[in-house]
Amino acid sequence: MTDTNTTDSRRITIFDTTLRDGEQSPGASMNLAEKMEIAQALVTLGVDVIEAGFPIASPGDFESVREIAQSVRGVQICGLARCREADIDRAWEALKSAQQPRIHVFLATSAIHREFKLKMDKDAIIHHAVAGVKRAVGYCGNVEFSPEDAARTEPDFLCQVVEAAIAAGATTVNIPDTVGYATPTHMGRVIQTLRNRVPNIDKAVISIHCHNDLGMAVANSLAAVEAGAGQIECTINGLGERAGNCSLEEVVMALRTRSDFYHAHTNVNTRRLVPTSRLVANVTGIHVQRNKAIVGQNAFAHEAGIHQDGMLKERTTYEIMLPEDVGFATTELVLGKHSGRAALAARIKALGYSLGNEQIQQVFELFKVLADKKKEIYDADIAALIEQEMRQVPELWSFVSYEVTSATGRIPIAKLRLRRGHQETATEVIGGDGPVDAVFLAIEQLTGFTVSCRDFNVHSVTVGKDAQGEVMVQIEHEKQVYRGRGVSTDSIEASARAFLNAVNKIAAVTVPNTKTVTPNP
């Protein structure tokens, strides 16, 4: 569904950089298959441009930009490059088979960057910026130029650089607040200054790219739109360097909900916001906080009696958006052990997933096992089961059972049973600094992989004592980081499953002939 589009409403281009700036979030690196899945989801969401990566940064980045450019259609695919010949050539090499390619070149312009990082004077910056844009234009007509750290660049110089980049052929000029320093009034003024003082500004689209160090990325992006920017650079769940980038779901819903004020709209199908947010959270292992605007679990929950009373009398007393408009299912229908496959299938569809019959059957089997342990099954439980089912990796080992003896001041003892193919193997380990660590050691012993645990995160999928625990782990093996996820009403089992899931990912790339094993429910 396209947002409100009245005659005086401007169409704002949504440039998604989850796969580039978002991936620069610590711990958010993604493999090729994950990037492809997210790119497809972004097309379904209705973004206009996907920044797929920084091709010169690594062979992996190059490969993923090339794959996405080759197979993702109906959207512009963009690759990032510094204003250097080798970068631009590499970016084009990756992008050349895209249906609608865009090269994005950048060069820092602020005094701090000029003096300390680049050691270039203003003339040299203009010279390199122009040369970079011209080289990119030699390959494709769709070129974006970013003066990095624009928000801290002297306004006169920023105007000069932007004018020169447009004269050299840039069709989009992006204004980054690289360090999240701007405020909304400041950002609005920067855009206004460019519009007033750059003579050829109407030959390019003005774009905005805000970081969230002071928590103002969305507000600053909206101020830029108010001042005339026509493109917003943003990421799903606000992922990105340090405190992240402007959150796509927030900025899109702000434009939509306050179209009376901004007189602007996007092409985003807002009903896909929650499913896309869930996908990115599951792929990256970076969860959104419960009270996150738009996609957080509490974003539409009303707890206070006065609010609930108001909602029952008239929804709009306390709700400015409809939960279903952002992709939450209309009612929290609670399922339980007597619910059938058809009820579950309907719920899966309402949650925005499209699964085939076989996948529904597999989720149903997991659902039945869960319903035996847990009286009420909520939407978040179902989403967790689906993610578990859909994100299966080829499993060399599958979890069978564990037993741990642990007490304060005692060394834990873990017994673990895993299955490899048709064979079960078991071990007993005495060690570790707690029951979870002991189980991890047992997994290392049975699988033969020694890893270091970089991150371990548990959160409850829903509320209540019997809620499922979802564990995300990141482990490192031979300088590569692997993520694993496990869900269970038993948090030690969830931890074991998450750790094993990550170890299976190592096995998938290091052990020949790794076969997919049907997961143990």
Q: Give the C-alpha separation, 174 to 1, whole Å.
A: 27
Q: Which does 501 bind (CB under 5 to 8 A by kind): ligand KIV, Zn ion, none?
A: none
Residue 150 tokens read as 């624009």
Distances 124 to 114, 182, 409, 456, 519 between C-alpha atoms, Å:
10, 26, 65, 47, 59
Q: Give the C-alpha separation, 26 to 22, whole Å.
A: 9
User: Smallest Cα–Cα separation from 10: which of 192, 232, 197?
Assistant: 232
Report the nearest approach of Zn ion to the CB of residue 112 (Å): 16
Q: Which does 437 bind (CB under 5 to 8 A by kind): ligand KIV, Zn ion, none?
A: none
Stretch that binds Zn ion, among 20-28, 54-62, 151-159, 421-429 (CB under 5 A): 20-28
CA–centroid distance for 188 within its chain: 27
51 interacts with Zn ion by CB under 5 A: no
Report the nearest approach of ligand KIV to the CB of residue 350 (Å): 37
Q: Nearer Cβ to Zn ion, position 72 or 210? A: 210
Q: How many residues are recorded in the chain? A: 521
Q: Nearer Cβ to Zn ion, position 21 or 493? A: 21
The residue at minimum Cβ distance from Zn ion is 21
Q: Give the C-alpha separation, 392 to 155, whole Å.
A: 51
The footprint of ligand KIV (CB under 6 A) covers 21, 106, 146, 148, 174, 176, 178, 209, 211
Total residues contacting Zn ion by CB under 5 A comes to: 1
Is residue 477 within 8 A of residue 506, CB to CB? The reply is: yes
Q: Nearer Cβ to ligand KIV, position 106 or 440? A: 106
Q: Which does 146 bind (CB under 5 to 8 A by kind): Zn ion, ligand KIV, none?
A: ligand KIV
Q: Nearer Cβ to ligand KIV, position 173 or 370? A: 173
3-class DSSP assignment, residue 190: helix
Residues 184-203 that bind Zn ion (CB under 5 A): none
Q: Which does 163 bind (CB under 5 to 8 A by kind): ligand KIV, Zn ion, none?
A: none
Q: Nearer Cβ to ligand KIV, position 66 or 152? A: 152
Q: Which does 184 bind (CB under 5 to 8 A by kind): Zn ion, ligand KIV, none?
A: none
Report the nearest approach of Zn ion to the CB of residue 204 (Å): 19
Residue type, 392: Q
Is residue 231 within 8 A of residue 199, CB to CB? The reply is: no
21 interacts with Zn ion by CB under 5 A: yes
* DSSP E strand boundaries for 129-251: 143-148, 172-177, 205-210, 231-234
The torsion defined by the Cα of 247, 252, 253 and 254, in degrees rounded to 10, comes to 90
Q: Nearer Cβ to Zn ion, position 181 or 449? A: 181
Q: Give the C-alpha separation, 353 to 35, whole Å.
A: 18
Report the nearest approach of ligand KIV to the CB of residue 196 (Å): 23
Q: Residue 106: in which H helix or E strand, if any? A: strand 100-108
Q: Sheet holding 469-477: strands in order across?
A: 452-460, 469-477, 480-488
Q: Nearer Cβ to ligand KIV, position 159 or 234? A: 234
Report the nearest approach of ligand KIV to the CB of residue 127 (Å): 19
Report the nearest approach of Zn ion to the CB of residue 338 (Å): 50
Q: Nearer Cβ to Zn ion, position 129 or 380? A: 129
Report the nearest approach of ligand KIV to the CB of residue 210 (Å): 8
Q: Give the C-alpha separation, 411 to 407, whole Å.
A: 8
Q: Please give the residue ranges that form the binding site for Zn ion (CB under 5 A).
A: 21
